Amino acid sequence: MENKIRECVRREKVLAWLEKYKEETKCEGVVLGISGGKDSTVVAMLAKKVWGDNVVGVMMPNGTQADISDSIEIVETLGLRHCTVNLADAFSALCAEIEKKSSLEISRQAKTNIPPRMRMTTLYAIAQTLGYRVIGTGNASEAFIGWTTKWGDGAYDLNPIAGLTCTEVMALGASLAKEFGLDEKFARKAPSDGLTGRTDEDNFGFTYAELDNYILNGECESDEVREKIERMHKLSAHKRKMPEKFGVD
């Protein structure tokens, strides 16, 4: 699958959507997490073009982050206001308190999802203090298979790449990077889980190109890959819906 972007989500239309949101909601600025990955990099560039100096990038490592230098290079090249909030102490204290008071040993998967939820709490604390909004950085490919944390990176006020697949985000990022003088590698960086050193594709058992081809065209050359994608999509359906509420339409 070629790394192209659909006409309906080209850069001019994404920027026009953001400008409309800014005007209609009187949004004075935005706050986003800067992970050093392609998604947050692309959103940071889009936000910079629309909100200028009223963009705050927040780096939120949980202890030591091997590629934190990438995040720093990104915010400095883009000229973003930024800060670093290390979650390590708060994360350890929270886990210890939960285990102490509940008499439960927090599962590995549950521990994996705590930092993303703490990051969102951090972003909202900063955004509310400034009178800004939290801008999301998750793409359509991740959402389709549930590769996101509910009420963590899946929570935000607006998201300009929510409808773009991974390959489309990379294509958009390559265009923006040239304009900002940012190394294009940041717009094409292979997503990883940040825990094991494995890429997302290693964890999936299929590539983003295969996933995006299935999402956009309904095509998949491998029956095994198709089954994996459809299973992940089905099991993660609850992440793409608002909570069920009795008596509320």
pLDDT in tens, 115-170: 999 999 999 999 999 999 999 999 999 999 999 999 999 999 999 999 999 999 99
Hey, which of 8-12, 57-61, 173-177 has the most confident mean pLDDT?
Answer: 57-61
What distances in angstroms separate CA 139 from CA 77, 160, 196, one per listed residue? 23, 9, 22
pLDDT over 80 (residue 49): yes
d(CA 161, CA 165) in angstroms, rounded, equals 8
With both helix axes pointing from N to C terminus, report the angle between 11-25 and 38-51 in degrees, rounded to the nearest 10: 60
Residue 96 has a CB neighbour count (10 Å cut-off) of 11
Quote the pLDDT of residue 194.
61
Tell me whether residue 208 is exposed, middle or buried, using C-beta atoms within 10 angstroms of its C-beta: 0 to 12, 13 to 18, 19 or more.
buried
d(CA 122, CA 33) in angstroms, rounded, equals 9
Q: What is the rounded average pLDDT of the residues 200-210?
A: 91
With beta carbons less than 8 A apart as the criterion, state whether 21 and 48 touch.
Answer: no
With beta carbons less than 8 A apart as the criterion, state whether 126 and 31 touch.
Answer: yes
d(CA 231, CA 222) in angstroms, rounded, equals 14
Q: What is the DSSP letter of 26?
A: T
With beta carbons less than 8 A apart as the criterion, state whether 30 and 134 touch.
Answer: yes
d(CA 221, CA 226) in angstroms, rounded, equals 8
- What string of DSSP letters covers 126-155? HHHHHT-EEBP---HHHHHTT-S-TTTTT-
Q: What's the pTM?
A: 0.93
Q: What is the rounded average pLDDT of the residues 97-118?
A: 96
